[in-house]
Amino acid sequence: VGQHFVGDTQPYLPANTHRFEIDLAGATIPVAARIGDIPALDQAVTDTGLAIVAHVSNDFTLEYGREGLFESFLAYEGLTPMLAEHRRRGLPMTGFKERYQRFAKALVQVGDRPGSDRRLGLAFEWVLQSNPYLSSQRPLRARLYWRGEPLAGVQARLFVNTRGEVDERVVTTDREGGVELVLPSGSEAMLNAVQLRELPESSGAVWKSYWSSISFALP
């Protein structure tokens, strides 16, 4: 999760975790982490194939306390049309709260047994259309799903790490929720997208943001 492959190491905290599992060779393996573990995932598996690590966080809350912060967030994530809806609802530009939740996947090849990414039923989910470790298909394609349906016209950000140099690109999903990913050999990639949905003010927050990411590497 995050941006530019930069972030703080986080321990495993069950109170922050809604779902944490490994999907491998058709089996779902719960992550056997203990509270405070760093790294949060350090687990041997007995099968081979493409391991899909899925992590869904619980909800967190933030408050917009600085002028212009909400507008900057919307502009960066391609969500500027939501600003008109914010104003239509008569909401202030500061002092309001937003909930957010993360839906992260990581693809890890174990051995040389074929395997593919698939939908795991996350509310907001990227699915890679071919195995980046074993398939010669280029460019790669990924598809974005919202509650099981392809999501068209969504801005996404692709971060590509090649020997320590990180390149950032903006892509937009097509009518089938798909994007093409042109990536060099030997790179690591992380694809992010954000959606914003209205919450009733009685909930204590006025918006909820959903953050979907998928990360993988190319040999």
Establish if 1 belongs to a structural domain: no
pTM, two decimals, is 0.95
Residue range of the domain that includes 78 = 14-217
Q: How confident is the model at residue 78 (pLDDT cuts 50, 70, 90)?
A: very high
* Per-residue pLDDT at 137: 80
Establish if 185 belongs to a structural domain: yes
Q: Is the pLDDT of residue 71 over 80?
A: yes
Q: Is the pLDDT of residue 1 over 70?
A: no
Q: Is the pLDDT of residue 213 over 70?
A: yes
Establish if 147 belongs to a structural domain: yes
Establish if 3 belongs to a structural domain: no
Distance CA 109, CA 43 (A): 14
DSSP 59: P
Q: Is the pLDDT of residue 4 over 80?
A: no
Q: Is the pLDDT of residue 136 over 90?
A: no
Which two structure tokens, joined as six digits, stand for 93?
Answer: 């530009």
Please state, in angstroms and as integers, the Cα–Cα distance from residue 199 to each residue in 6, 90, 118, 194, 217, following that order: 30, 14, 30, 16, 36
Establish if 7 belongs to a structural domain: no
Interval 37-46: pLDDT, tens = 999 999 999 9
Kindly report the average pLDDT of the chain as a whole number. 95
Establish if 38 belongs to a structural domain: yes
Query: In total, how many domains does the chain have?
Result: 1
Which of 163, 47, 57, 58 minimizes the C-alpha distance to 113? 47
Establish if 5 belongs to a structural domain: no
Which two structure tokens, joined as six digits, stand for 43?
Answer: 């687990």
